[in-house]
């Protein structure tokens, strides 16, 4: 009962202040139950005192009066600080002793008083627990067995022969027993209805809190999605234009170094943005691993170069070593692997003021191993314990207890295990430590990565000589300019038409035939998903089956699925790599029967 009372008080204190009606009802019900705790001993005590006036002997009258007075005083123990459970046990114990004493004086096993032993377990059942009720029921049965044995040995006299007033006493006992048996079902039915009412109130409060959590979760997802979009959109321009500058840096040697710094910094910033978004998706259980064909050397060196300037300014030895004979291409999630290695290098540089930081890559027939070794201070015990856990889940993320670096490492552990690998940490004697990422090695044969065959590669070269017509749909003018520059750099004769929302794109598509559409997902008036659906569902449109490449800064897989379901042929995430965009465009054009039919004669003449 005390636990129930405490739970009600906690619920009252933690519930929203905007629900005073529910809280007040809970408080009122709690007081009612506490009144019942006082009412049980007082009601029984008064009945026992009343019955003492009809006692068949002086000793019985005295015993009944003592029991009644003790029961009236029992609730005062609650005010003195005694727990409700022990108050119930004390009251039941007093009643049991009174029944034993009176029964000894009024016939033992034949006494009318001894029948009350059957009602002794009722009070613990209602106010304590079923275990307490069973315990007192066992005590009652043992008392009956003792009285039966005493009767067998004739240790208790027959009160029917001793007192003439026994009939009155017995009659009153029977009347009270019947009344008790009638009151108990009514009482339990009433308390059952009250319990149901309390449960319904609790369920309403819980449902209200659940709906609040659902709304907060939905708002959080919407906020993360918007945040990702707003952060990635300007990053798309930075990464894209720096790639264009790098392609032309041969003409300006002095600017080549500056462009390299811009690219390295932008990749580092993009990795941080990806880390924030990935952490949110990992907590929600929505993070997915996307395996792709990756050039191993390029992946390692790009991540290593992000910290090269920082290591140079610290004047420490910063080296990268790849094992001889390493495979050129592997199948892995390049973004996740780079993110883990970035966390390793970040932590190593933070702890190393002098000496060295080394990134080393090794491989065997089954594993590829990335190790970051440094000469800095040791990893803390918390970091070692965290990284050497057998399993790491989203619930193990040390949000409140460890540093931001340790949080990144714990995420690296979780990501590695999602990819079927593991992360290990080790402190070396003296100074220095090492962080190791082990992943299953899946080598991709070069024949699979040669890309297109000779005929298809020739077709790619011929595309540069065509005046292909491309529609770029994006509400951001900088992004439209970037895509136009990338297209003209790759296909000088291409004709680019622009639209800043889906509605204008439909107008262009109904009036002119294009070879390909680059469609942004989020736009005002009409977004890219809705515009693509209109194009695919309009049989009169000359561009009904035109290739549509979706461009979006949203990282949500659900959004990407919506794009594909609407009819887009593929989706590319912003900020995009220039070479990846060019490759996707060429693949979509060559896979489109309308495009290949349109330029079939030219391809045949050139080949």
Peptide bond into 575 cis (omega under 30): yes
**Assigned token pair, 598:** 């349109």
Mean pLDDT, residues 370-387 taken together: 82
427, containing H or E segment: strand 422-427
Query: Looking at the DSSP assignment, which residues form a beta bridge with residue 520?
Result: 551
Which one, of 560, 556, 567, lies nearest residue 517 by Cα?
567
User: Which tens digits make up the pLDDT trace of 494-506?
Assistant: 899 999 999 999 9
8 A C-beta contact, residue 147 and residue 60 = no
Top mean pLDDT of 302-316, 502-516, 562-576 is at 502-516
Phi first, then psi, for residue 450 (nearest 5°) are: -65, -10
Mean pLDDT, residues 545-558 taken together: 82
Q: Is the pLDDT of residue 392 over 60?
A: no
Q: How confident is the model at residue 271, as a pLDDT?
A: 67
8 A C-beta contact, residue 375 and residue 354 = yes
362, containing H or E segment: strand 356-363
Q: Is the pLDDT of residue 438 over 70?
A: yes
8 A C-beta contact, residue 341 and residue 437 = yes
Mean pLDDT, residues 18-37 taken together: 46
The share of the chain scoring above pLDDT 90, in percent, equals 8
8 A C-beta contact, residue 320 and residue 359 = yes
Q: pLDDT class for 517, splitting at 50, 70, 90?
A: very high
> Of residues 228 and 390, which shows the higher confidence score?
228
Q: Is the pLDDT of residue 359 over 80?
A: yes
Average pLDDT value for the chain = 76
Q: How confident is the model at residue 581, as a pLDDT?
A: 85
Q: How far apart are CA 436 and CA 422, in angstroms?
A: 8
Q: How far apart are CA 376 and CA 497, in angstroms?
A: 56
Q: Is the pLDDT of residue 471 over 90?
A: yes
Query: Looking at the DSSP assignment, which residues form a beta bridge with residue 425?
Result: 435
Say which range, 60-69, 404-413, 474-483, 570-579, has the weakest mean pLDDT.
404-413
Say which range, 109-113, 279-283, 398-402, has the weakest mean pLDDT.
398-402
Q: How confident is the model at residue 268, as a pLDDT?
A: 67
Q: Is the pLDDT of residue 463 over 90?
A: no
Q: How confident is the model at residue 370, as a pLDDT?
A: 94
Q: How confident is the model at residue 358, as a pLDDT?
A: 92
Mean pLDDT, residues 574-597 taken together: 82
Mean pLDDT, residues 68-86 taken together: 78
Q: How confident is the model at residue 476, as a pLDDT?
A: 86
Q: Is the pLDDT of residue 448 over 50?
A: no
Q: pLDDT class for 470, splitting at 50, 70, 90?
A: very high
By three-state DSSP, how is residue 413 classified?
helix
Q: How far apart are CA 191 and CA 198, in angstroms?
A: 10
Mean pLDDT, residues 413-431 taken together: 85
408, containing H or E segment: helix 404-418
Neighbouring CB atoms inside 10 A of 437's CB total 24
**Share in percent of the chain as helix, strand, coil (round to 5):** 65, 10, 25
Q: Is the pLDDT of residue 395 over 50?
A: no
Q: Is the pLDDT of residue 236 over 80?
A: no
Mean pLDDT, residues 579-594 taken together: 84
8 A C-beta contact, residue 133 and residue 127 = no
The upper half-sphere exposure of residue 406, i.e. CA atoms within 13 Å in the direction of its Cβ, equals: 18
Q: How far apart are CA 393 and CA 383, in angstroms?
A: 16
Which one, of 18, 74, 71, lies nearest residue 49 by Cα?
71
Q: Is the pLDDT of residue 104 over 50?
A: yes
CA distances (Å), 396 to each of 287, 386, 403, 406, 410, in order? 16, 9, 14, 12, 8
Q: How far apart are CA 210 and CA 366, in angstroms?
A: 47
Q: Is the pLDDT of residue 218 over 60?
A: yes
Residues near 376 by Cβ (< 8 Å), separated by ≥ 6? 348, 350, 351, 352, 353, 355, 357, 431, 432, 433
């Amino acid at each position: 009962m005390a636990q129930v009372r405490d739970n009600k008080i906690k619920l009252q204190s933690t519930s929203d202040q905007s629900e005073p009606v529910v809280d007040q009802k809970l408080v009122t019900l709690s007081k009612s139950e506490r009144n019942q705790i006082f009412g049980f001993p007082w009601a029984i005590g008064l009945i026992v005192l009343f019955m003492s006036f009809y006692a068949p002997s002086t000793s019985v009258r005295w015993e009944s009066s003592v029991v009644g007075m003790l029961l009236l005083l029992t609730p005062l123990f609650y005010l003195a600080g005694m727990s409700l459970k022990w108050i119930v046990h004390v009251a039941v114990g007093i009643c049991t002793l009174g029944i034993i004493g009176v029964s000894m004086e009024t016939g033992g096993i034949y006494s009318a008083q001894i029948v009350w032993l059957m009602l002794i377990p009722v009070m613990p059942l209602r106010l304590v627990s079923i275990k307490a009720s069973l315990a007192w029921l066992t005590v009652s049965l043992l008392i009956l067995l003792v009285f039966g044995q005493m009767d067998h040995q004739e240790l208790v006299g027959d009160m029917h022969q001793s007192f003439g007033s026994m009939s009155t006493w017995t009659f009153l006992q029977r009347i009270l027993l019947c009344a008790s048996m009638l009151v108990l079902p009514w009482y339990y039915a009433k308390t059952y209805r009250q319990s149901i009412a309390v449960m319904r109130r609790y369920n309403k409060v819980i449902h209200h809190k659940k709906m609040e959590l659902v709304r907060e979760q939905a708002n959080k997802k919407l906020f993360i999605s918007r945040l990702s979009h707003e952060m990635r959109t300007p990053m798309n321009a930075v990464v894209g234009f720096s790639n264009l500058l790098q392609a032309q840096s041969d003409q300006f040697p002095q600017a080549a170094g500056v462009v390299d710094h811009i690219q390295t910094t932008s990749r580092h910033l993009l990795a941080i943005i990806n880390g924030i978004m990935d952490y949110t998706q990992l907590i929600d259980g929505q993070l997915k691993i996307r395996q792709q064909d990756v050039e191993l050397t390029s992946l390692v060196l790009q991540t290593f170069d992000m910290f090269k300037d920082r290591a140079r300014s610290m004047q420490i030895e910063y080296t990268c070593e790849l094992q001889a004979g390493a495979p050129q291409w592997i199948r892995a999630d390049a973004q996740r692997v780079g993110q883990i290695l970035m966390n390793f290098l970040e932590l190593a540089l933070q702890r190393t003021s002098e000496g060295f930081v080394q990134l080393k890559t090794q491989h065997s027939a089954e594993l590829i191993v990335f190790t970051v070794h440094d000469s800095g201070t040791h990893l803390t015990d918390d970091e070692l314990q965290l990284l050497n856990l057998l399993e790491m889940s989203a619930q193990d993320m040390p949000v409140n207890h460890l540093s931001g670096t340790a949080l990144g490492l714990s995420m690296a552990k979780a990501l590695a295990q999602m990819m079927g690998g593991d992360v290990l940490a080790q402190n070396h004697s003296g100074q220095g430590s090492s962080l190791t990422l082990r992943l299953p090695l899946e080598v991709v044969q070069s024949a699979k990565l040669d890309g297109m065959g000779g005929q298809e590669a020739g077709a790619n070269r011929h595309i540069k000589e065509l005046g292909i017509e491309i529609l770029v749909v994006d509400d951001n003018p900088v992004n439209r300019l970037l895509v136009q520059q990338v297209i003209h750099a790759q296909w000088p004769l291409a004709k680019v038409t622009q639209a800043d929302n889906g509605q204008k794109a439909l107008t262009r598509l109904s009036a002119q035939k294009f070879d390909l559409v680059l469609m942004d997902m989020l736009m005002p008036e009409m977004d890219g998903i809705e515009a693509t659906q209109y194009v695919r569902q309009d049989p009169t449109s000359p561009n009904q089956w035109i290739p549509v490449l979706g461009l979006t800064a949203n990282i949500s897989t659900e959004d990407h699925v919506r794009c594909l379901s609407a009819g887009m042929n593929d989706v590319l995430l912003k900020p995009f790599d220039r070479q990846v965009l060019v490759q996707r465009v060429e693949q979509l054009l060559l896979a489109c029967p309308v495009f290949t039919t349109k330029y079939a004669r030219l391809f045949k003449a050139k080949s």
